[in-house]
Amino acid sequence: MNPTGARVVHQGDGVAWLRDTTLPPDHAVVTSLPDHSEVPLMGFEGWRRWFVDVAELACRQVADDAVAVFYQTDVKHDGRWIDKAYLVSRGAEAAGSATLWHKVVCRVPPGSISFGRPAYTHILCFSRSLRLAPGQSSPDVLPRLGEMPWSRAMGADACDAVCSFLLAHTACRTVVDPFCGLGTVLAVANRRGMDGVGVELSRRRASQARKLVLP
Ligand SMILES: C[S@@+](CC[C@H](N)C(=O)[O-])C[C@H]1O[C@@H](n2cnc3c(N)ncnc32)[C@H](O)[C@@H]1O
């Protein structure tokens, strides 16, 4: 494996790309599906349905023994708490995938009150066939997100923990993010010697994602 992996970023619709792409067994999806505020034309209920459907699609498009990983931060909307772990789990169940793990990443120190975004982010991993023995466990609570290249980015430390899991417990050597934003997980995967494939609707962000390097 190269010390620095290769990276390809397509500009376009990640849903259409996923539908048209059969991913080989050494590819894993690691993504953060857009929040309703990023796709306002759908309306809130439309976004909820879309979110579950896209989580299902991502779980279906990975190979049987491969994994789909979702990094999602809940939101508060109209006085309601929107649990995105529940929504991706519904999509995964519809795809016939089982949860392999569910991690929580602290966004602020435990015990703090957060008035805007919740104090933690979920990372969930699903597979149709892969199963983990108890000895293959990794930490469930991660103390920090790490560097975030922009406010909606994944945290680099959290991405690194996902890459460690992929390298140790799966055949994945290419990380696929169909909603890659600035490409945080692709840059972290490259740093770990894995290849990265991204799709991003925004032309500007797709261009930035081709170049992002994390220290
Ligand atoms: C939560 S952000 C992802 C951030 C990314 N993980 C990072 O670290 O920069 C979601 C991204 O999905 C993009 N997006 C929204 N709809 C999309 C679509 N249909 N296809 C591809 N990208 C889309 C948005 O432009 C945004 O950059």
Q: What share of the chain has pLDDT > 70, as a percent?
A: 99
Whole-number Å distance, alpha carbon 31 to ligand 1 midpoint, is: 9
Q: Whose CA is nearest to atom 15 of ligand 1?
A: 34
Average pLDDT value for the chain: 96
User: In this model, does residue 2 exceed pLDDT 90?
Assistant: no
Q: Which two tokens stand for residue 154?
A: 């994944």
Whole-number Å distance, alpha carbon 101 to ligand 1 midpoint, is: 23
Q: What is the mean pLDDT of residues 79-85?
A: 95
pTM strictly above 0.85: yes
Q: How far is the CA of 188 from the CAs of 37, 49, 88, 133, in angstroms? A: 26, 30, 23, 26
Amino acid at 170: T
Residue ranges lining ligand 1, Cβ < 6 Å: 13-15, 32, 34, 38-39, 152-154, 179-182, 184, 199-202, 205
pLDDT band at 186 (very low <50, low <70, confident <90, very high): very high
pLDDT at 192: 97
Whole-number Å distance, alpha carbon 55 to ligand 1 midpoint, is: 14
Q: Ligand 1 pocket check: which of 201, 211, 212 to mutate, most ligand atoms within 8 Å of Cβ?
A: 201
pLDDT in tens, 19-76: 999 999 999 999 999 999 999 999 999 999 999 999 999 999 999 999 999 999 999 9
Neighbouring-strand partners of residue 101: 125
Inter-residue contact 71 to 84 (CB < 8 Å): no
CATH superfamily of 7-211: Vaccinia Virus protein VP39 (3.40.50.150)
Q: Ligand 1 pocket check: which of 38, 190, 203 to mutate, most ligand atoms within 8 Å of Cβ?
A: 38
User: In this model, does residue 1 exceed pLDDT 90?
Assistant: no
pLDDT band at 115 (very low <50, low <70, confident <90, very high): confident
pLDDT band at 168 (very low <50, low <70, confident <90, very high): very high
